[in-house]
Amino acid sequence: MKLILASRSPRRQELLAMTGFPFEVAPSSCDEDEVLHQWQHTDPVLNECSLVERLAFAKAQASLREYPDCLILAADTIVSLDGRLFGKPKDKDDARKMLCTLSGKTHTVDTGVALLTALSADVFSSVSHVTFHPLTPVTESLIDRYVATGLPLDKAGAYGIQELGGLLISRIEGDFFSVMGLPISEVYQRLTAFDIN
């Protein structure tokens, strides 16, 4: 069975490559914003774990329609603080505001994963707690330098743990790779159940 990674994220591609399983990249055609908007109207009290699992499943479903004979791996990551979701920033100003808001606090990173075939569905999530250093002149300078690179713009919460944004972190409880975008150890264990060629 062919493994399809339904994501354009270079970080997820890099992590999946660690497993040694051959795979092809085919980003999902799922419109995350539309799916999120629908759920906010039908189920406004949906918790973060359920939300990322549903988003990952929706992405996998969209890809399975295009690749019905394959194993689809889709994932979604959200950052939240006190019930507020931090998606991808709209622009550099938004990224800076997000990072300043997260400073000095512990936020939650939920990553949902869906492994989907025509005959089976395995959906799960991983939760981590990330604490940022307090907002000081040093931290603000780092935020400005990081935002100037443009790197935060394609990431939930406006940071990547594996790059300059990692310097904002004082502590992490959970899975480093899940915060990066894919709980790859758990994914590897589950992929071994499939006959991937």
The catalytic residues are 76
Residues 6+ away with beta carbon under 8 Å from 73? 3, 4, 5, 6, 7, 16, 23, 60, 113, 114, 115, 187, 191
Give dist(CA 23, CA 72) in Å, integer. Answer: 10
Residues 6+ away with beta carbon under 8 Å from 127? 48, 49, 108, 109, 110, 174, 178
3-state secondary structure of 168: helix
Contact between residue 145 and residue 167 where contact means Cβ atoms under 8 Å apart: no
